Amino acid sequence: MKKVLCILVALVMMFAMVAACNGDSGSNNDAGNNNDAGSNNDGGGSSSGGLVGISMPTQSSERWIKDGNTLKDILEDRGYDVDLQYAEDDIPTQLQQIEAMLTRGAKVLVIAAIDASTLVPVLDAAGRDGVYIIAYDRLLVDTDAVSFYATFDNVKVGELQAQSLVDGMKQHRGDGPWNVELFAGSPDDTNSFFFFSGAMNVLQPLIDDGQITIVSGQDTQDAVGTLRWDGAVAQTRMDTILAANYADGTPLHGVLSPYDGLSRGIISALSAFGFQPGTDDWPVVTGQDAEAASISLIRTGEQFSTILKDTRDLARVAADMVDAILDGRQPEINDTSTYNNGVKIVPSYLLVPHTVDVTNYQRLVIDSGYLDEADIH
């Protein structure tokens, strides 16, 4: 009887300790405001788990599916409960999903926003309640509730895209001058601006000295943005540009595209207009994300390049941030100057992007295990 009692007392004490550890990790955490997750956060730590909410924008692009699944697997392996949701590019859905995660008691939210500006009130409230928030790949703007940002060097992404466009035109279309059209990403995603400004770091000097002409004259982010990164929108815009500017036989040498889904829309428009893939007249088209369908087009020569951003690495960086925050440690960061979200500079970890083309896709994309050969048709 005495023995049983002792065991009972020990059990009660154990539960009390676990409850104390989990208890108020939120109430006195200020990582969101002061970036010092380590200093006074007594969060639950990976051993005691806790709920992590992952809010992803859409499953219509394969990268976000990979991001979500990889991050979920890593966090579950480390003992966390995970609520992974996709909002299918619908802003009210993303808001509801985040609110539901908070109601379920999420300690950390990892968010890739559709339109970050729409999340400000819910994120501010979560921050006040002591929930930690990590911006995943896309910056969360206008709130000090965001603690950290896991992403790639987004300016570098744009520079690589533009450099590859120029290299491709040199290779396929001679020394120029070249006629080019520009596409940018969704205006509600800060990444679009970083990609575009990176691209213009390379292209603007060439435009200024006449080596490149933007025949449509559409050369600002406002004019060339593509709402919700929608391939159909890019296709329609390309159709319109071709009809208005190239129907008289003016050659088009290259198209700057910031994302594979847009590239495929652009390529459809080029084909429909009468350009023949595989001929000398076919324009150089860039991309991003190393999607299987675009690796296939790189093989056939319809798309010149893409950018590989290994989502396995990004998921690991974000998972390490979650761990560090909840263990009361400072996550590893390597940039404290670039990502001003309108309220503060968000401490970030930037990964390195890589240009992929027909010469290196086998090594970078397939041999690395990023995609299976069987996925590429």
Contact residues toward ligand BGC (CB under 6 A) are 61, 63, 137-138, 185, 189, 191, 229, 259, 288-289, 309
Q: C-beta of 112: minimal distance to ligand BGC in Å?
A: 7
CB of 185 to ligand BGC, least distance (A): 6
Which residue, 127 or 261, is less far from ligand BGC as judged by CB?
Answer: 261
Q: How far is the CB of 67 from ligand BGC (least distance, A)?
A: 9
The smaller minimum CB distance to ligand BGC, of residues 65 and 100, is found at 65
What is the token pair recorded at 76? Answer: 């579950």
| Termini Cα distance of the chain | 69
Name which of 148 and 275 has its Cβ closer to ligand BGC: 148
Q: How far apart are CA 131 and CA 133, in angstroms?
A: 6
Are the CB atoms for 290 and 311 separated by under 8 Å? Answer: no
Least Cβ distance, residue 25 to ligand BGC (angstroms): 30
Helix/strand number for the chain, H first, E second: 14, 12
Write down the least CB distance from residue 259 to ligand BGC, Å. 4
Q: Could you tell me the maximum CA-CA distance found in the chain, to the nearest angstrom?
A: 97
- Based on CB atoms, which residue is closest to ligand BGC, 137 or 323? 137
The residue (of 41 and 294) whose beta carbon lies closer to ligand BGC is: 294
Judged by CB, which is closer to ligand BGC: 112, or 322? 112
Pick between residue 44 and residue 185 the one whose CB is nearest to ligand BGC: 185
- Is the N-terminal amide bond of 187 cis, ω within 30° of 0? no
Q: How far is the CB of 138 from ligand BGC (least distance, A)?
A: 5
CB of 263 to ligand BGC, least distance (A): 10
Residue 45 CB neighbours (<10 A): 18
Structure tokens at 166: 């120029």
Question: Which distant-in-sequence residues (6+ apart) come within 8 Å of 266 by Cβ?
Answer: 183, 234, 235, 238, 255, 257, 285
- Cβ-based nearer residue to ligand BGC, 259 or 282: 259
Smallest distance from ligand BGC to CB 289, Å: 5
**Given the structure tokens 């405001």, which residue do they identify?**
33
E-strand stretches of the chain: 51-56, 81-86, 108-111, 132-136, 146-152, 178-182, 212-214, 254-256, 284-285, 305-308, 348-351, 354-357
Question: Residue 7 class from Cβ within 10 Å (0-12 exposed, 13-18 middle, 19+ buried)?
Answer: exposed
Tokens of 321: 């941030």
Please state the closest distance from residue 143 (CB atom) to ligand BGC, in A: 18
Nearer to ligand BGC, 89 or 323 (CB): 89
Distance from C-alpha of 227 to C-alpha of 7, rounded to nearest angstrom: 62
Return d(Cα 124, Cα 120) in angstroms, integer: 6
Least CB distance to ligand BGC at residue 63 (A): 6
What is the total residue count of the chain?
Answer: 377
Nearer of residues 63 and 72 to ligand BGC, judged by Cβ: 63
Residue with tokens 């390049």: 305
